[in-house]
Amino acid sequence: MSSTPQTQLEAFVMNEHQSQYKLPSLHQMLQELVAARSVSSYTPSKDESNKAVIDLLCEWCENIGMTTHVQKVAEGKYNLIAQIVPNENQFDPNLKGIMFAGHTDTVGYMEDDWNTDPFDLKIINDEWFGLGVCDMKGFFPIALQAIAETLNEQGKDTLKAPITLIATSDEETTMDGARALSKLNIKSHQVIIGEPSDGQAIYAHKGVLTTKLIIKGVRGHASNPSLGANAIEAAHWVIGKVMDWKKEWQTTHVNHTFKIPHPTFNFGCIHGGDNSNVICDKCELMLDMRLLPNMPQAMLDQEFKQRLQGMEEAVPGTSLEIITQEFCPPYEETQVPAFSKLLTDLTQQPLVSTNFVTEAPFLQEQGHHPFILGPGSIDWAHKPNERLALSKIQPLINQLKACLKSIS
């Protein structure tokens, strides 16, 4: 679509939908979604409900003829599952449905760093500004518009597999929304997750494992080492073993899908001891690992145990506790070549991998085939003055409609 900024803007602000299924304008939908606060935070006083966002999406889905189900994830936290299923005589059991999926929550914000009110959608120089516009409330009006236009243009009667829209809670913290979907047994779909991907389709990302290593020793006077067991010396032994592990995996575990083709290891934090004249009795290390596909948590637990099992002999009197603090699995989707090809054709770019984590591995575990394709840029996610260029909207609506056309 070639258009001047002015006509482009008018198209978004006015509601031109005169057909059977009616939605508010894209601008109005996004304005309401941005105004509906839904910050997720590990700090309980800052953690907000996502109910207001779910209510809005639920209403719009019902307006375009979708059946809706709201799943309670935790107190104040909900998922929305909205669906249109084909008529029984049109249903093709060999076709997988198309799912558009995204999270309803946003990260927190520092109001002073924003040039505008983060909850009041603004258009400045052909960009939308507001908290969550790119990560990722902006995807929902686009997905709804694509579904509504598809239904208006060809009706429901030609549909051969379900169209599903999923909106989850808590992606920015625990990913509990995506995990909770496993309770619903939703039939296998080909999925577009609208996380900011700058118009490229993503088929793989690394996983993240955050581990806390707690080393305990025995306190004593520094003048006589036999009176204690030094936790810092044991930590030194542990760090050495992890560095050997890191070096080994740089050559044994390589996947050139990724810019950094091997797993990475980062010690980001160390705490221990209180004075130089006391034998240190406790030392804690925090380790971040970025993992390649096919590295399940059980395998990593096993590696930690095997590689670090000699510490207690190396520094007698010490003990080690290994605590997994966070695990987001890696993911790679290669099972639906026809859909992969469709996405390559639509974006006119090869499928790519990325460094940020998403809900994709959870959907994949539940039998779906997820890809990431969203309008914004990750460079503006989790930042003040978050923005989304209006020029990204219409191309994505067209791409999502082409996905829907593949099942009708």
Catalytic residues: 105, 171
With CB under 5 A as the contact rule, which of the stretches 18-26, 47-55, 127-135, 274-282 interacts with Zn ion? Answer: 127-135
Identify which of 282, 179, 306 has the alpha carbon closest to the alpha carbon of residue 234.
Answer: 282
- Closer to Zn ion by CB, 179 or 216: give it: 179
**What string of DSSP letters covers 316-341?**
TT-EEEEEEEEEE--EE--S-HHHHH
Find the shortest distance in angstroms from Cβ 6 to Zn ion.
31
With CB under 5 A as the contact rule, which of the stretches 30-38, 77-85, 135-143, 173-181 interacts with Zn ion? Answer: 135-143
| 136 binding Zn ion? (CB under 5 A) | yes
Q: Which two tokens stand for residue 356?
A: 């940020």
Find the shortest distance in angstroms from Cβ 310 to Zn ion.
41
Find the shortest distance in angstroms from Cβ 267 to Zn ion.
27
- Closer to Zn ion by CB, 137 or 369: give it: 137
- Closer to Zn ion by CB, 101 or 291: give it: 101
CB 50 within 8 A of CB 104: yes
Whole-number Å distance between alpha carbons of 150 and 404: 7
Under rule CB under 5 A, how many of the chain's residues touch Zn ion?
Answer: 3
| 198 binding Zn ion? (CB under 5 A) | no
Identify which of 75, 103, 70, 102 has the alpha carbon closest to the alpha carbon of residue 170.
Answer: 103
With CB under 5 A as the contact rule, which of the stretches 52-60, 132-140, 259-267, 383-391 interacts with Zn ion? Answer: 132-140
- Closer to Zn ion by CB, 311 or 381: give it: 381
Q: Which residue is nearest to Zn ion (CB)?
A: 135
Find the shortest distance in angstroms from Cβ 194 to Zn ion.
9
With CB under 5 A as the contact rule, which of the stretches 1-9, 174-182, 189-197, 309-317 interacts with Zn ion? Answer: 189-197
Q: Which two tokens stand for residue 170?
A: 């808590």
Options 135, 233, 332, 386; binder of Zn ion; rule CB under 5 A: 135
Angle of helix 5-13 versus helix 26-35 axis, rounded to 10: 70
CB 151 within 8 A of CB 20: yes
Tokens 């039939």 — which residue?
A: 187
**What string of DSSP letters covers 230-280?**
-HHHHHHHHHHHHHHHHHHHHHHS--TTSSS-S-EEEEEEEEE-S-TTEE-
With CB under 5 A as the contact rule, which of the stretches 128-136, 270-278, 324-332, 364-372 interacts with Zn ion? Answer: 128-136
Find the shortest distance in angstroms from Cβ 369 to Zn ion.
19
The sign of the dihedral angle between the CA atoms of 83, 88, 89, 91 is: positive
Find the shortest distance in angstroms from Cβ 187 to Zn ion.
25
Find the shortest distance in angstroms from Cβ 17 to Zn ion.
28
- Closer to Zn ion by CB, 228 or 374: give it: 374
- Closer to Zn ion by CB, 136 or 308: give it: 136
Maximum Cα–Cα distance for the chain, whole Å? 86
CB 189 within 8 A of CB 369: yes
What is the CA 383 to chain-centroid distance, rounded?
A: 16
SS (H, E, C) 136-205: HHCHHHHHHHHHHHHHHHHCCCCCCCCEEEEEECCCCCCCHHHHHHHHHCCCCEEEEECCCCCCCCEEEE
Residues whose CB is less than 8 angstroms from the CB of residue 76 and which lie 6 or more positions away in sequence, other chains included: 48, 49, 50, 51
With CB under 5 A as the contact rule, which of the stretches 120-128, 188-196, 268-276, 338-346 interacts with Zn ion? Answer: 188-196
78 backbone dihedrals φ, ψ, rounded to 5°: -140, 155
Find the shortest distance in angstroms from Cβ 195 to Zn ion.
5
Give the contact letters, 138-177, x = binds to Zn ion (CB under 5 A), - = no.
----------------------------------------
CB 311 within 8 A of CB 322: no
- Closer to Zn ion by CB, 104 or 318: give it: 104
| 386 binding Zn ion? (CB under 5 A) | no
Residues making contact with Zn ion (CB under 5 A): 135-136, 195
